[in-house]
Amino acid sequence: MPYTGRATRTGNSKGFRFESALFSSHPEFASGELEADVIAPGRLLVRARVEAEQPETDPVLDAYLAFLGNQMAAHPELLRPLTDDHIAGLDELLAGVEYDLDERLDADFELP
């Protein structure tokens, strides 16, 4: 569910103002410190800071996995089991592709 808001000035700083429904549904954003990452032009990912130190993670992947979890909870009727036919199709698709699961990708890596 998208929440509407607008950019605003707060004292000598700039900030964002959102409808109260966001804070009612997600109280972790109602107080405390927040972090934000620009993940694409016009796209900002905001997360509540947690007190315990967490290992560094990918904010885009975290957001995607949270989205998947929410969709799975909201629409369990759309879930389908992974079958042997699906796996065979992947094996066929990836035949001849060489990869190293331990390879670290550079920060400037782009998919071909």
Tell me the per-residue pLDDT of 7-19, one tens digit each, with 9 for 90 and over. 999 889 999 999 9
Mean pLDDT of 77-91: 89
Q: Where are the domains of the chain?
A: 5-49+56-93
Q: Distance between CA 54 and CA 74 in Å, rounded?
A: 27
State which fold the 5-49+56-93 domain adopts.
Pemi-like Protein 1; Chain: D (2.10.260)
State the pLDDT at residue 101: 86
**pTM recorded for the entire structure:** 0.47
pLDDT tens per residue, range 21-73: 999 888 888 888 898 988 888 889 998 887 655 667 788 888 899 899 989 99
